[in-house]
Amino acid sequence: MNRPIRIGLIAEGATELGKSVPYIKPEEGGKTIPRGSEGALHTLIRRDLKNIGISECNFVHRHPTLKEDRKRKLRTGHSILDKKYLAQLIIAWKLEEVDLIVIVADADDILPTRKNELEKALKTIRDNHLDINEQPIYDRSIGGLAIRNFETWLLGDMHTVAKILKVELSPIEDLENSDDTKTALENAIAKSKYLSDQTTNQRPLQIRWNLAREIDLSIVKIRCPNGYKVFVASLITVVKNI
């Protein structure tokens, strides 16, 4: 492919997607998300694609549904896995707008249930991602489960997080079986003086974005083998076949 891969990324909210998520004007649907509006999950994906020689990729805005446009707010949380919602979302993307569709959700404390929901969501995506002949495209979409949540992935390299935030973090031996990761990161950000000159609600998002740029992804894969490592392996397999 002689141009950057175009990725339609669906995730639970601003924690992952940064400033790109609160609201999208209908005319922005299908257009490239400006780099300055990306978030931590965009960065993790971009870095791992660069590790396999893909130096450039573009993330594409989703098209807001009529309901989202009326409310002036995009759907967030695990309800992004809803079958009807996903069908509307996927079929709205034109073939030339996206090469790859990625969906990431938090497992929370109900891993088997969320895993089943993600599998159903992927089927919906594949049934509604159509080629030029309006036939389903089954090999251009992947799903990921953040076990237990996206903060777990950012805390995968706790040493770097503590170094950047200049705070002490209590060791968490088994990250994927801990229900404290989200609280631990939120508390660390609250105590930290890092980016303290930013007093808006964008500070926590900017910090997460900066952490995503700096953490050692090889360590994150070791500490999050069932979540991040599996997700990246699926991502790389699909991308290599595009």
pLDDT in tens, 158-180: 999 999 999 999 999 999 999 89
| Per-residue pLDDT at 200 exceeds 80 | no
Residue 211 has pLDDT above 90, yes or no: yes
Coil/strand/helix, residue 190: helix
Q: What would the two tokens of residue 143 be?
A: 């799903």
pLDDT exceeds 80 at position 213? yes
pTM for this prediction: 0.95
Average pLDDT on 44-57 reads 95
pLDDT the model gives residue 24: 85
| pLDDT class of 31 with cuts at 50, 70, 90 | very high
CB neighbours (10 Å) of residue 12? Answer: 23
Average pLDDT over residues 204-222: 97
Rounded (to 5) percent helix, strand, coil in the chain:
50, 10, 35
- What integer is the mean pLDDT of 183-187? 96
- pLDDT (0 to 100) of residue 179: 87
Label residue 198 by pLDDT band (50, 70, 90): confident
Report the percent of the chain where pLDDT is more than 90. 86
Mean pLDDT of the chain: 95
**Please, which pLDDT band fits residue 21 given cuts at 50, 70 and 90?**
confident
**E runs forming strands in 15-166:** 57-60, 100-106, 141-146
Q: What is the pLDDT of residue 178?
A: 93
pLDDT classification of 189: cutoffs 50, 70, 90: very high
User: Above pLDDT 70, what percent of the chain?
Assistant: 100
In the three-class reduction of DSSP (H, G, I as helix; E, B as strand; rest coil), residue 74 is classed as coil
Q: Given this model, what pLDDT does residue 22 score? A: 80
Per-residue pLDDT at 36: 92
CA nearest neighbour of 11 among 30, 51, 39: 39
204, 40 Cβ separation under 8 angstroms: no
> For the residues 74-100, what does the mean pLDDT come to?
95
1 pLDDT exceeds 90?
no
